[in-house]
Amino acid sequence: MTALRRRLVEDLRVRRYAPGTQRNYIRCVEKLARFYNRSPECLELEEVRAFLVYLVSEADVSYGNLCHYVSALRFLYRITLRRPWGADELPYPRRERRLPTVPSREEIQRFLKAVPNLKHRAALTTCYGAGLRVSEVVGLKVADIDSSRMLIYVRQGKGNKDRMVPLAEKLLELLRLYWKATRPSDWLFPGRYGRHLSVRTVEHACLRARRRAGISCKLTVHSLRHAFATYLLDNGTDLRKIQVALGHASIRSTAIYTHVSPRALGKIRSPLDDTPLAT
């Protein structure tokens, strides 16, 4: 491990960044080093900016990945290397305004039936039934399922925040069936070497099930979380309560579901309906 990498890791740990965020930042910095075949410590601002331009124009990275690179490089140069570069020197890209993909209830039913592995089906059903991020699902422990209060405790979710979400009765039935079959003692969804199931394993199980079910739309693990929020809104749940369940820091993040909810859109009355037309 180089001295720079060690300092970066230490800075991330001291600031209590999530393990996934630490790995992502290190990966982004490694990509920069490989791009120039030099230590990032030797690079000037214009070289770093040229790398970001390459990511957009040639590598064609997504908006989300580009934001990860900007965050990682800002941290490296402003925190670890103490460069006097302001936010304007490494700006975030303009936010894309894309609506989330929300599979239908019928598609979700077909999808979950197409997951043969009970552990994977229980994990994916938890993503949908509780609206959790996949990283939150794999990080659940058996003790986090409170059947007496019908709650799920999410420990150190995004932003290192704890929260509680409702435990659906059908989800509890499936989790009990899964527990009786596998008897997990610590992690609810254990993986190898005493660790929990990996995010990638769940994502791969999702992809295989989507293909097996013959679903053409882009149904991902995160789509299940989108579906959870959209169907809550369709059922008349208050937007603020949905925000709390999802763990959104801002209600603006939750409000996007009003643009994909058939119930919310169905309440809009066109002025044309109140305008007499010539016949």
Q: Which of 210, 225, 226, 231 is catalytic?
A: 225
Helix (H/G/I), strand (E/B), else coil: 161: strand
Active site residue: 7, 49, 158, 163, which one? 158
Which of 15, 43, 18 minimizes the C-alpha distance to 29? Answer: 43
Q: Count the neighbouring beta carbons within 10 Å of the beta carbon of residue 33.
A: 17
| Marked catalytic residue, from 7, 31, 163, 222 | 222
Look up 222 and say whether it is catalytic: yes
Which of 49, 68, 78, 248 is catalytic? The answer is: 248
Give the DSSP letter of residue 88: T
Q: Which of 69, 77, 231, 257 is catalytic?
A: 257
Q: Which amino acid is at 226?
A: H
Active-site option among 110, 119, 120, 133: 133
Active site residue 248: yes
Cβ atoms within 10 Å, residue 91: 12
* Active-site residue, 226 included: no
225 is catalytic: yes
Q: Judge whether 35 and 54 are in contact, CB under 8 Å.
A: yes
Q: How many CB atoms lie within 10 A of CB 161?
A: 11
- 153 is known as an active-site residue: no
CA–CA dist 45, 8 (Å, integer): 18
Is 141 labeled as catalytic in the residue annotation? Answer: no
CB within 8 Å of 74: residues ≥ 6 apart: 87, 90
Exposed/middle/buried for residue 121 (C-beta within 10 Å: 0-12, 13-18, 19+): buried
Active site residues: 133, 158, 222, 225, 248, 257
